[in-house]
Copies of this chain bind each other. A is one copy, B any other.
Amino acid sequence: MNAISPDEPGAGATASASPAGAPRDRRITIGDVAARAGVSKSAVSFVFNGRPGVGEGARERILEAARELEWRPDARARALSRSRAQALGLVIRREPELLSTDPFFPQFVAGVESHLSTVGYALVLQVVDGEQAEHDAYSRFAHEARVDGVFLTDLRIEDERPAELAALGMPCVLLGSGGGEDTAPIGLDDAAGIRRAVRHLHALGHQRIAHVAGADRYVHSRVRREAWESEVRRLGLEPGGIAVADFTGASGARATHELLDHPEPPTAIIYANDIMAIAGISAAIDRGVRVPQDLSIIGFDDIPLAPYIIPPLTTVRQDVFQWGSACARTLVAIVEGGEPGAVDLPPVEFIVRGSTGPVRGQDAAPEVGE
């Protein structure tokens, strides 16, 4: 708890009153540790880099000296001499409104951290708001050598970033499905989640299943959309309408009205995220359409609020934390020149709550379950 316990040797407020031979108010260096342990600097370096060549006795003394002096290798000096920043970068580009509701980003970061903290890497963040700014961010990361590798999120159709990063010599992992030729993405299976959703609705007797897609330029939007369409067709139905939105609540509401304005409106809608789905519920109720009696609604993400919506939201859950952790593991392996190793992500889950129900006035199969 208390880092500055007075009985600890060398625990003067600042690193000034070092009990051992650390002369001044100067920063404690590897030299001080070496001196205190009676060895050379390289011996200390070797121990702290986990390489052989130091006797057990010396090793012990070094570790103890370091502990007493509260010394840790200076990340800056280490970075310089190893030409490695020991840091990874994440550039986030999001519209302001989405930033604060999107459950992805915080969870992903937490997952990334869960691995990075075990290997001593730091995560450098950059939040940008436009294409140019995003580009500059990567460029700076590379030219200033601030990070050793980056995570690439929200992959776009015909995304130029992988090629740009390759040109910069910056290793990266791609998040999500799709991607380039030489860079295999690490992603959860969005499509499987959507297919589950479609089948669930089909089992409830729905014939007109619509989809509110996310912004068109994203690969994950397209993946979800295609999964919806192909699964609907596979079940012998026609797509029940599509509307393109942009992941915000406002756009979800608008898309819902659009779909419901149709002469033959859908009896169920699958949204590309929970925010839009929740706004969709609100929009439906506003126009007198009851959920789930008249309209079934399915979201995507399972935000913590989903169970508390009225009606509670049926949705698809992804384990974003694990995803982040897997990406971090892979990226660290890459920048250290090792073998990435296979990543094994947990499957998406489908969470049935109250926003879906049997289709009303079913002219459909009466054998539908659930």
Interface residues, chain A, with chain B CB atoms under 8 Å away: 1-7, 12-17, 27, 70-77, 79-80, 83, 85, 87, 94, 96-103, 105-107, 109-110, 113-114, 117, 122-128, 131, 133, 135, 137, 139-140, 142-146, 160, 163-174, 182-187, 248-249, 252-253, 275, 278-279, 281-282, 285, 303-305, 307-310, 312, 320-321, 330-331, 334-335, 337, 340-343
Contact = CB atoms under 8 A, between A and B. Distances in A.
21 contacts: A1-B160, A1-B187, A1-B343, A3-B135, A3-B171, A3-B186, A4-B166, A13-B167, A13-B169, A14-B169, A27-B83, A27-B145, A71-B143, A72-B144, A74-B145, A76-B79, A94-B106, A101-B303, A106-B106, A114-B127, A279-B308
A337 B4 CA distance: 11
Given A171-B6, A310-B281, A125 B123 contact: yes
A249 B302 CA distance: 13
B340 A304 contact: no
A352 to B, nearest CB: 17
Contact of A304 (B75, B97, B133, B186): B97
Contact of A124 (B2, B15, B87, B335): B87
Contacts of A330: 2-3
Nearest to A77: B80
As for how many copies of this chain the complex holds, the number is 2
Given A122-B126, A303-B101, A321-B96, A4 B163 contact: yes
B124 A123 contact: yes
A3 B72 contact: no
A37 B36 CA distance: 47
Contact of A143 (B70, B173, B335): B70
A137 B118 CA distance: 12
Nearest to A138: B3
Given A101-B103, A308-B282, A334-B5, A167 B15 contact: yes
A131 B139 CA distance: 36
- Which of A5, A27, A279, A341 is the most central at the interface, judged by chain B CB atoms within 10 Å of its CB? A5
A279 to B, nearest CB: 4
A100 B304 contact: yes
A4 B184 contact: yes
A96 B110 contact: yes
B99 A110 contact: yes
